[in-house]
Amino acid sequence: MTTLTGKSALVTGAASGIGKAAAIALAAEGAKVAAADIEALDDTLAAIKAIRSATPQGEAIAIRGDVADEGDAIRMAKETAAEFGSLDILVNNAGIIIESPLLETTVEDFDRLMAVNLRGAFLVGREAIRVMSGQGSGGRVINTASELAYLGRAEFSVYCASKGGILSLTRSWAREFAPDILVNAVAPGPVDTPMLDFENMSPEWREKESDIPLQRVGKPEEIASVIVFLAGPGATFVTGQTFGPNGGAVMP
């Protein structure tokens, strides 16, 4: 018996990075996982299948779709509940990043990033909470923000703004749906994912990203462990909070 046996989870942005690690970690704890992404999910499902012999109760499905599309967001929530009989956990993780000086940032850049990072989180969160509310058995929502929601960063202003919006959604939903649905966020620091592309950075940028108290970038699995905690039985008195697995980059 593992900590999430009998629970079902929807994880967006699950094809790579933090989303993939979260989907695998939730499955390892016994959850049935719907892995959702606009990209192919073969690697994520294969990794979950590889651990299923140790956790035979874990099941997984792939849902291809765009979180910024309302129809796809509705389908993600409904397909998860239909396949597994419930939707108990949402990891609202899909996101993109754009590096651009403000004076060179176009309206199209702004709209594209906000569509995925903030509109997508809103849409999938709304539909998952709709399903959870209808079940009458509560639920957990874990939103992915960023350390940059607190710090800001030159030439990343739109990304930072989108993650600040995630923090506000988290607090507002936590108040609106308590005590039945617990809503929290993780705000990772620099993490070795395809989005960060740490290996291909210049030495100067690698040094900058690692210039934090723990002197290294994080691993996706280190963020996933916090997500598993927030989804599990140890977090029953936690809502409206943002956890910062960031190597000490931010100390609120």
Region label for 17, one of left (φ > 0), alpha (ψ between -120 and 50) or beta (otherwise): left
How many other C-beta atoms lie within 10 A of the C-beta of residue 27? 29
CA distance 49 to 44: 9
* Residue 159 bears catalytic tag: yes
C-alpha angle 67/71/72, rounded to 5°?
40
Among residues 7, 20, 32, 159, the one annotated as catalytic is 159
Nearest to 20 by CA among 247, 219, 242: 219
Which of 7, 150, 163, 208 is catalytic? The answer is 163
Torsion of CA 199, 204, 209, 210, to 10 degrees: 90
Cβ(91)–Cβ(22) below 8 Å: yes
Return the SS3 of 22.
Answer: helix
Round to whole Å and give the CA distance between 26 and 213: 29
- Cα gap 35→19, rounded to integer Å: 8
- 20 catalytic residue (yes or no): no
Q: Please check whether residue 125 is in contact with residue 94, taking contact to mean a CB–CB distance below 8 angstroms.
A: no
Active-site amino acid positions:
159, 163
